[in-house]
């Protein structure tokens, strides 16, 4: 079954809500940077008292985000490199996709990973961002 954007966002929201208590949290912030071979997630939960408990993002979030990335692919224009999903109580969800700017990563991504991503999600040359062209050219990955 092919899920819709709304269904995938609802799955993300439900999964994120399962990670926090029913009350006592102020914000959930999930930042995902992704290429076809590499997934990098940063999950931050802010409690009402300002504390930020360490919560490891479950693998199901990566699966849902990979589906969302594939769903939002536009032929010749590509898909997003990073996404931010935020929630406020009781379950209001916000999302923002970055299709053009270099993603902020917890660890560097090799140019070969970006080259693989362009193979899986092709873009015409006019839709390949300058930072990505430079990265691929310096490493000879294209």
Closest to 113 (Cα-Cα) out of 124, 126, 125, 102 = 102
Domain positions in the chain? 5-139
Q: Six-digit token pair at 35? A: 């290429």
Pairing of strands 39-47, 25-34: antiparallel
Can you give the pTM of this predicted structure? 0.90
10-16: long-range pairs with CB below 8 Å, 24+: 11/64, 12/61, 12/64, 12/65, 12/68, 12/85, 12/93, 13/85, 13/87, 13/91, 13/93, 15/58, 15/60, 15/61, 15/64, 16/61, 16/85, 16/87
Q: Six-digit token pair at 78? A: 């590509």
CATH 3.30.500.20 fits 5-139, yes or no: yes
Mean pLDDT by 10 residues, the chain (142 residues): 92 96 95 92 97 96 97 95 96 95 85 92 95 84 44
What pLDDT does residue 141 have? 43
What pLDDT does residue 104 have? 82
Q: What are phi and psi of 95, to 5 degrees?
A: -145, 150
What pLDDT does residue 110 have? 87
Q: At what angle do helices 111-120 and 130-139 cross, to 10 degrees?
A: 120
């Amino acid at each position: 079954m092919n899920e819709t954007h709304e269904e995938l966002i609802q799955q993300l929201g439900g999964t994120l809500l399962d990670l926090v208590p029913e009350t006592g949290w102020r914000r959930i912030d999930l930042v995902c940077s992704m290429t076809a071979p590499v997934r990098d997630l940063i999950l931050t939960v802010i409690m009402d008292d300002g504390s930020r408990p360490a919560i490891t993002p479950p693998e199901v979030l990566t699966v849902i985000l990979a589906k969302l990335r594939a769903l939002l692919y536009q032929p010749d224009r590509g898909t997003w490199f990073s996404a931010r999903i935020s929630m406020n109580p009781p379950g209001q969800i916000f999302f923002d996709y970055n299709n053009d700017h270099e993603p902020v990563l917890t660890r560097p991504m090799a140019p070969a990973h970006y080259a693989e991503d362009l193979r899986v999600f092709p873009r015409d040359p006019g839709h390949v961002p300058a930072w990505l062209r430079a990265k691929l050219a310096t490493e000879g990955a294209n």
